[in-house]
């Protein structure tokens, strides 16, 4: 016989709601009463909350009653403000429980309008219906792009005028974040009225970041304003801890579990995230409980073990190696209820407006066992769980129905009941604790109080997911200008999405390595506007994709972009003129647009129109880059008009005005055609310089010169600026009136006479720019370079300095000429000046109002500057005494010179017979700044020392050299004196001494030893070792009998670095020798050890441990200072929590902690000395890996 009821466990002593709160919708000014029944021992105390805030019952608007476990809350007269979520929280010494219900208060209307979207199960940001009347809204003040931190409070406000401002037709203020309609809540407070709309976010989280839009809706139109709000991470609990996760969502809530998901934070400046902790808190309490014992790596977690009917908040914290982040914003409250809870409600009319609400479970019924469910399938699958859905059987009985689930591994055919404790009432349920990557089958049985159905058909095999990894890196990143503080970033989505969530964008000033997060909440589209940039600064950008596992690799950096205002299309070109005509073609020229729109006008399009036909046609399909163009295939004798378009990065500009009608008739006049492209520079109060280009049509003979004419603006009287034609294509015009406005034109001349004039220039005012400075010429006191320096009185972001000689741009910098620009100053440097570097040099600062200047270097001035340059570049240190020598005791020789003065930065070298000498015990060098003396003490002066001795001195740029020749009789005399002093010292004074100073010996067994030899000892002679001033007592005393002394440096490593000293002494005196083991000396020892270790290294071996698998390479010696690199395939491996790289004195190791399949592959160890790299390789896969992994599992 099947069971006829559900067996439940014994009643707990903690609170339990027998009758839960029910939601209601009522009209304004009507009463409402919420009631519930709770049991528990001791009797629970019930508190009431409105929107999670403890209810204030002292106001008299709310009446609370309690009687033997039955509790009620009554509102005698409902108002619109009473619309809220109400919660009753029952608690006693054994725990607490809660129940929730919503009250919706509507304004009373005769007939409620039907919403066309009422059928939808979700709430979308649906725009209200617009009825067209003439109400105009004009924004007076708007909110800007805002930057804030977590925990801050921000108010976004707009002031506006409403016309007409009618009390009964006030606009609705709708606020959106990223196209989602916002509602009044504890996180968002809204105000509207009096011409102001405000949105206050009292406590910011990164969830609040986004594009905020205010939409003022009227019956006839709307007004919209948008701006972005950035919310960066608040101060972390510990330094370098990650930012908080965000966007906490609850999925698939059921009677005893929910699934929580979230989005990971950006980690631009923090370490990578290890995992996450999920916390829960029951509504009405402040007790947060951690749900998972160890961090989870995936941004989704099923929380089980919830109490049915209780409501909970959830939050998430991120973990990295530095610590735990701040908690995320808590989720909206969610009740642990069966999804079919409300489908089981049954209402009975009592008359009037009163209903009695019960459950179908509570009704008496008679019937049969239900039918068999069908179509069981997985609606969601994860690594360790699946969410199953199925079609219920046709069921019309009044008795409650529930389900049992069973599972089996594919191929085993052993079915196991899943939900043994909790009956499932909805046709959807999650099955947890499944094996990752395995295939399962499921079936479902329906049951009621009369019996249980047959099992359904098994589902198709359902495989739990395996971790696929993070998305691949996004593709090419392109940055384009938007405003003077923002740029638009676009990129190609990753080729491998792997459940992509969104993107994080980082920005960095070009040349630095300080990356900053551009957004703190993932953006979902491959396009983002980065605000808050510095105008004129150059940035690069990169993008990372994220999914529930974390962040992808960074994309490649974008091309550098300088932040500037958005571009506009250029204005129209103008003044089209005809330069030549051969009967079938015309050569045109025009002036560039007056307004470029922020980008260079780089190309042009030409249209033509046959006057007789009056039809415009394009002339050139590919654009042209110069402002001169030959229009071909014209009809001889026809008249044509032309118009020009300018093209920039911003697009195609407006067309020019049509040119005059030009007749297509071949030019045959003997005089030349008109010059063109007049430009001006060096505009001063009474003068300026005119430049132009040669005419296209030369006439019947070669050009012989040019005549410049000018006239006051508005006058037709032209005056020649030069009485005699000039050969060059520039002229300085003088004698102008200060502030006068002039136009200019140029005529070319040949043997036949003056040709047609150029088109008149634009008016030019003879007035120097305020602050105009001329070019300075001089010789650099430090480098000796001859320079021309110009400081512009104007400067812009696009300004470039163009230097010219004889008004032709300097483009050849191979002769030692260079340009150095810093800020508003540009310098032309002659690094290898010559007598030929004379003439007129000029400079123009582009993208200014004509800042320019010129300077003429004469031959006489150049001669003087060349002499001064030589003296500066070749300074000499004055000497008091040239090199001399003196014989000292013990036969040592002192070579010395004395300068007038030297600095502490002086450098010098001594040479013997053109061979540089080292500063060591045998040739000890020193100097004295106070006296200017530089000396060298030669310790072993022998017959081989004959020759020339030289010292080279450099102090800054000044140099000096002095030599001493010791050969023949002079050398013999010096050598004899040195031998005499040495013998005399030994006879009278010499005691114990070093015959061989300290040196380093690296043995074939990788031993490192300090060695030296002492002589002239007696029984009382004492030998001592020291390191960094502290005495060392070796295990084996020095062998003074043989004179050889050794100090082994066991396990040589970084700890062996120091200054070592040896001393030998007795009553006759003391001698010492020292060596500094650091820097290059230390590196040479490590290199020798590496060479010996690498050449004798054994093949790689495997050793399993309790924590993982260790790869070993045995060698003569190992220390971490050696250049040893581990690789998997071609990827270099770095030490981490999973990869422990190190070794023992005779072995290098890498330990793989908790190995997984991706750790299989080819492993290499590379041991590199200065000349050669030694490599050992192992294929760590197949049976070798399987055996090692099995041994690891056994040890574990």
CB 186 within 8 A of CB 52: yes
**Residue whose entry in the numeric block shows the structure tokens 């606009």:** 171
Q: How confident is the model at residue 634 (pLDDT cuts 50, 70, 90)?
A: very high
Q: Which two tokens stand for residue 621?
A: 């399909």
Cα separation, 215 vs 137, in Å, equals 11
Tens of pLDDT, residues 742-751: 999 999 999 9
Question: Strand 933-938 relative to strand 893-899: parallel, antiparallel, unpaired?
Answer: antiparallel
Triad 766, 772, 774: Cα angle to 5°: 105
Q: Residue 989's pLDDT is what? A: 60
Taking Cα atoms as reference points, which of 156, 843, 246 lies closest to residue 519? Answer: 246
Cα separation, 197 vs 219, in Å, equals 18
Q: Residue 467's pLDDT is what? A: 67
Q: Which two tokens stand for residue 70?
A: 């039955």
Q: How confident is the model at residue 29 (pLDDT cuts 50, 70, 90)?
A: confident
Q: Residue 421's pLDDT is what? A: 64
Query: Which residues contact residue 560 at a Cβ distance below 8 angstroms, ignoring those fewer than 6 apart?
Result: 510, 538, 539, 540
CB 495 within 8 A of CB 472: yes
| Alpha-helical runs (H) found in 183-264 | none
Instruction: Look over the chain and give the mean of its residue pLDDT values, rounded to a whole number.
Output: 87
Asked whether residue 8 carries a pLDDT value surpassing 80, the answer given is no
Tens of pLDDT, residues 199-217: 999 999 999 999 999 988 8
Render 733-792 in DSSP notation, one character per residue. Answer: E--PPTT-EEEEEEEEEETTEE-PPPPPPPPEE--PPTT--PPEEEE-TTT--EEEEEE-
Q: Residue 352's pLDDT is what? A: 43
Beta bridge partners of 448: 401, 451
CB 242 within 8 A of CB 325: yes
Q: Residue 451's pLDDT is what? A: 87
Cα separation, 1093 vs 1169, in Å, equals 10
Q: Residue 358's pLDDT is what? A: 45
CB 105 within 8 A of CB 86: no
With 0-12 CB in 10 A as exposed, 13-18 as middle and 19+ as buried, what is 1073?
Answer: buried
Tens of pLDDT, residues 287-317: 999 999 999 988 889 898 888 778 899 999 9
Peptide bond before 42: cis, by omega within 30 degrees of 0?
yes
Q: Residue 646's pLDDT is what? A: 93
Cα separation, 672 vs 752, in Å, equals 9
Q: How confident is the model at residue 122 (pLDDT cuts 50, 70, 90)?
A: very low
In this structure, the number of other CB atoms found within 10 A of the CB of residue 154 comes to 19
Taking Cα atoms as reference points, which of 803, 825, 799 lies closest to residue 812? Answer: 803
Q: Is 1051 helix (H, G, I), strand (E, B) or coil?
A: coil
Query: Which residues contact residue 911 at a Cβ distance below 8 angstroms, ignoring those fewer than 6 apart?
Result: 917, 949, 950, 951, 952
Q: Residue 549's pLDDT is what? A: 84
Q: Residue 13's pLDDT is what? A: 67
Taking Cα atoms as reference points, which of 976, 1173, 1186 lies closest to residue 1102? Answer: 1186
| 213 alpha-carbon distance from chain centroid | 28
1113, HSE (Cβ side, Cα atoms, 13 Å): 28
Q: How confident is the model at residue 127 (pLDDT cuts 50, 70, 90)?
A: very low
Average pLDDT, integer, range 981-1006 = 79
Q: Residue 270's pLDDT is what? A: 87
Return phi, psi of residue 394, to 5°: -65, 120
Average pLDDT, integer, range 374-392 = 86
In this structure, the number of other CB atoms found within 10 A of the CB of residue 390 comes to 22
Asked whether residue 345 carries a pLDDT value surpassing 70, the answer given is no
Average pLDDT, integer, range 378-402 = 83
Cα separation, 604 vs 647, in Å, equals 6
Taking Cα atoms as reference points, which of 202, 197, 204, 188 lies closest to residue 224? Answer: 197
Average pLDDT, integer, range 234-244 = 92
Tens of pLDDT, residues 394-434: 887 777 888 888 989 888 888 888 876 667 878 888 888 88
User: What is the helix (H) or strand (E) element at residue 41, kind and residue range?
Assistant: none
| Alpha-helical runs (H) found in 493-576 | none
**Residue whose entry in the numeric block shows the structure tokens 């953006």:** 523
Tens of pLDDT, residues 1089-1137: 999 999 999 999 999 998 999 999 999 999 988 999 999 988 899 988 8
pLDDT above 70 covers a percentage of the chain that reads: 93
Tens of pLDDT, residues 31-69: 888 989 888 877 888 998 988 888 888 777 888 888 778
Q: Which two tokens stand for residue 823?
A: 């800020």
Looking at per-residue pLDDT, the higher value among 138 and 926 belongs to 926
């Amino acid at each position: 016989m099947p069971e006829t009821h559900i067996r439940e466990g014994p009643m707990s002593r903690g609170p339990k709601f027998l009758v839960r709160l029910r939601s209601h919708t009522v009209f304004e000014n009507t009463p409402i009463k919420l009631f519930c029944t709770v049991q528990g021992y001791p009797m629970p105390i019930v508190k009431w909350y409105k929107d999670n805030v403890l209810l204030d019952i002292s106001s008299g608007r709310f009446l609370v009653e309690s009687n033997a476990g039955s509790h009620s809350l009554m509102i005698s007269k409902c108002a619109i403000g009473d619309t809220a979520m109400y919660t009753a929280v029952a608690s006693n010494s054994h725990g607490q429980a809660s129940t929730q219900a919503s009250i919706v208060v509507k304004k009373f209307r005769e007939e409620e309008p039907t919403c066309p979207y009422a059928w939808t199960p979700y709430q979308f940001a649906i725009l209200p219906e617009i009825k067209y009347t003439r109400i105009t809204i004009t924004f007076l003040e708007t909110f800007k792009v805002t930057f804030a931190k977590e925990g801050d409070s921000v108010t976004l406000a707009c002031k506006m005028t409403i016309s007409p401002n009618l009390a009964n037709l006030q606009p609705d203020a709708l606020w959106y974040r990223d196209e989602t309609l916002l509602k009044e809540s504890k996180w968002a407070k809204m105000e509207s009225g009096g011409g102001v709309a405000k949105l206050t976010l009292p406590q910011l989280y990164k969830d609040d970041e986004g594009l905020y839009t205010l939409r003022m809706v009227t019956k006839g139109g709307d007004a919209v304003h948008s701006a972005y709000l950035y919310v960066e991470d608040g101060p972390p609990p510990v330094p370098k801890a990650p930012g908080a996760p965000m966007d906490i969502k609850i999925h698939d809530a059921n009677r005893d579990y929910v699934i929580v998901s979230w989005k990971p934070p950006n980690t631009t400046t923090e370490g990578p995230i290890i995992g996450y902790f999920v916390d829960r808190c029951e509504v009405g309490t402040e007790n947060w409980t951690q749900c998972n014992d160890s961090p989870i790596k995936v941004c989704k977690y099923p929380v089980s073990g919830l109490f049915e009917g209780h409501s909970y908040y959830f939050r998430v914290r991120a973990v990295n190696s530095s610590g735990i982040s701040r908690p995320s914003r808590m989720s909206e409250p969610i009740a642990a209820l069966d999804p079919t809870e409300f489908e089981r409600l049954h209402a009975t009319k009592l008359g009037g407006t009163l209903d009695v609400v019960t459950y179908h479970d509570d009704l008496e019924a008679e019937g049969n066992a239900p039918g068999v469910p069908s179509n069981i399938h997985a609606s969601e699958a994860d690594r360790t769980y699946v969410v199953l859905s199925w079609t219920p059987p046709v069921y019309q009985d009044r008795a409650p129905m529930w389900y049992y689930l069973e599972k089996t591994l594919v191929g085993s055919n052993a079915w196991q009941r899943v939900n043994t404790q909790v009956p499932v009432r909805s046709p959807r349920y999650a099955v947890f604790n499944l094996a990752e990557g395995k295939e399962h089958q499921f079936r479902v049985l329906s049951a009621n109080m009369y019996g249980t159905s047959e099992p359904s058909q098994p589902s198709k095999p359902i495989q739990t997911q395996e971790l696929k990894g993070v998305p691949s890196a996004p593709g090419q990143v392109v940055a384009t200008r938007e405003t003077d503080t923002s740029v638009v970033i676009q990129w190609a989505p990753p080729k491998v999405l792997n459940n992509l969530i969104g993107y994080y964008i980082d920005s960095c000033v070009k040349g630095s390595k300080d990356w900053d997060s551009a957004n703190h909440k993932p953006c979902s589209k491959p396009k983002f506007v980065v605000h808050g940039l510095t105008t004129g600064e150059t940035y690069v950008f990169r993008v990372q994709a994220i999914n529930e596992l974390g962040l992808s690799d960074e994309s490649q950096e974008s091309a550098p972009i300088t932040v500037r205002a958005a571009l506009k299309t250029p204005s129209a070109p103008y003044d089209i003129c005809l330069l030549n005509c051969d009967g079938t073609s015309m050569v045109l020229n025009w002036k560039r647009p007056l307004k470029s729109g922020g980008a260079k006008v780089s190309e042009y399009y030409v249209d033509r129109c046959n006057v007789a036909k009056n039809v415009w046609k394009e002339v050139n399909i590919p654009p042209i880059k110069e402002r001169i163009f030959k229009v071909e295939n014209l009809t001889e004798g026809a008249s044509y008009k032309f118009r020009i378009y300018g093209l920039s990065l911003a697009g195609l500009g407006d067309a020019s005005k049509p040119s005059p009608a030009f007749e297509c008739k071949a030019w045959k006049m003997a005089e030349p055609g008109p010059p063109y492209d007049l430009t001006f520079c060096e505009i001063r109060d009474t003068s300026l310089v005119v430049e132009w280009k040669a005419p296209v049509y030369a006439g019947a003979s070669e050009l012989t010169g040019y005549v410049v004419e000018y006239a006051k603006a508005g006058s037709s009287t032209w005056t020649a600026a030069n009485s005699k034609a000039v050969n060059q294509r520039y002229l300085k015009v003088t004698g102008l009136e200060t502030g006068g406005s002039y136009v200019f034109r140029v005529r070319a001349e040949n043997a036949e006479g003056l040709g047609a004039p150029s088109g008149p220039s634009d008016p030019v005012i003879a007035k120097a720019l305020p602050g105009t400075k001329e070019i300075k010429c001089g010789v650099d006191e430090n480098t000796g370079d001859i320079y021309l320096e110009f400081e512009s009185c104007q400067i812009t972001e696009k300004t470039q300095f163009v230097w010219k000689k004889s008004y032709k741009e300097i483009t050849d910098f191979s002769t030692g000429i260079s340009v150095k620009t810093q800020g508003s100053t540009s310098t032309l440097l002659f690094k290898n000046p010559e007598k030929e570097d004379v003439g007129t040099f000029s400079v123009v600062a582009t993208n200014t109002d004509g800042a320019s200047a010129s300077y003429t270097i004469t031959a006489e001035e150049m001669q003087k500057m060349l002499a001064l340059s030589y003296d500066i570049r070749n300074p000499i240190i004055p000497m008091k005494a040239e090199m001399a020598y003196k014989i000292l005791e013990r036969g040592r020789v002192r070579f010395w010179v004395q300068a007038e003065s030297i600095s502490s930065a002086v450098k010098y070298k001594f040479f013997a017979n053109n061979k540089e000498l080292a500063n060591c015990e045998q040739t000890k060098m020193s100097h004295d700044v106070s006296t200017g003396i530089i000396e060298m003490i030669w310790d072993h002066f022998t017959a081989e020392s004959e020759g020339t001795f030289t010292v080279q001195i450099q102090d800054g740029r000044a140099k000096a050299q002095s030599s001493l020749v010791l050969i023949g009789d002079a050398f013999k005399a010096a050598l004899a004196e040195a031998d005499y002093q040495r013998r005399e010292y030994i006879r009278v004074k010499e005691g114990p001494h070093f015959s061989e100073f300290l040196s380093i010996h690296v043995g074939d067994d990788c031993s490192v030893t300090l060695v030296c030899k002492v002589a002239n000892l007696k029984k009382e002679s004492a030998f001592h070792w020291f390191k960094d001033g502290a005495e060392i007592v070796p295990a084996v005393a020095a062998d003074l009998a043989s004179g050889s002394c050794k100090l082994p440096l066991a396990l040589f490593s970084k700890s062996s670095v120091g200054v070592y000293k040896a001393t030998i002494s007795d009553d006759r005196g003391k001698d010492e020798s020292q060596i500094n083991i650091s820097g290059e000396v230390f590196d040479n020892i490590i290199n020798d050890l590496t060479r010996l270790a690498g050449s004798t290294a054994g093949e790689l071996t495997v050793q399993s441990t309790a924590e993982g698998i260790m790869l070993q390479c045995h060698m003569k010696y190992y220390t971490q200072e050696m250049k040893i690199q581990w690789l998997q395939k071609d990827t270099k491996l770095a030490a981490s929590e999973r990869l422990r790289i190190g070794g023992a004195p005779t072995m290098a190791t890498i330990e793989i902690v908790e190995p997984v399949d991706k750790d299989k592959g080819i492993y290499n160890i590379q041991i590199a000395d200065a000349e050669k790299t030694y490599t050992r390789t192992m294929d760590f896969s197949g049976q070798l890996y399987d055996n090692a992994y099995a041994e690891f599992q056994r040890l574990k």
